[in-house]
Amino acid sequence: MTATIHVGPLQPRHRSRIEEIVRATGVFSKDEIGVAVELFDEALGSRLSALGGNELTADGREPRADYEFIGAFDGDELIGYVCFGATPSTDRTYDLYWIAVHPDAQGAGAGAALMSEVERLLWERRARLVIIETSSRDDYAPTRRFYHKRGYQETARLRDFYAPGDDRVVLTKRVGVHQPPPYE
């Protein structure tokens, strides 16, 4: 594996590779794998619909899907992806829903490249806060260490949320220091 990782948009042809990546990690259940693919389908469908309709938001921008996807590529091969989106009914808060890198590519910088791109985009959007929810299971320890190295801090823990002994761990990071928009 070469270290020529770059990030870019995902296309419909990446659907099966996303499923393959999520499955290969070995940490997601069958139901979670299905959700990952459903979110991709929803995001892609929303994007295609928006582009076909040439609709703009009230402020003149193209609409965004609830879920946005970015891929990490080694050459032309998709090796990882991230899914994130604006948290409804909040002031510039975003959720990072999924990040997955194929085990053959882990440790090569794909996850860091994806997180850097998400944070760059959110900085441009004047985001305020990023929320990540993950598991407390031992097989998620490397994932939690990855987030901690990137400056995310545990701010909440819901005991036995996913299953007995499997807590929901909530991590947060302030993306930038922006002034709130003026309210009229």
Per-residue pLDDT of the chain (184 residues; tens, 9 = 90+): 445 899 999 999 999 999 999 999 999 999 999 999 999 998 887 544 444 444 434 444 444 568 999 999 999 999 999 999 999 999 999 999 999 999 999 999 999 999 999 999 999 999 999 999 999 999 999 999 999 999 999 999 999 999 999 999 999 999 876 545 444 4
Task: For residue 23, give the CATH number of its domain.
Answer: 3.40.630.30
Is 149 inside any structural domain? Answer: yes
Domain of residue 28: give its range.
5-174
pTM (predicted TM-score): 0.83
Is 179 inside any structural domain? Answer: no
Closest CA to 45 of 21, 63, 71: 63
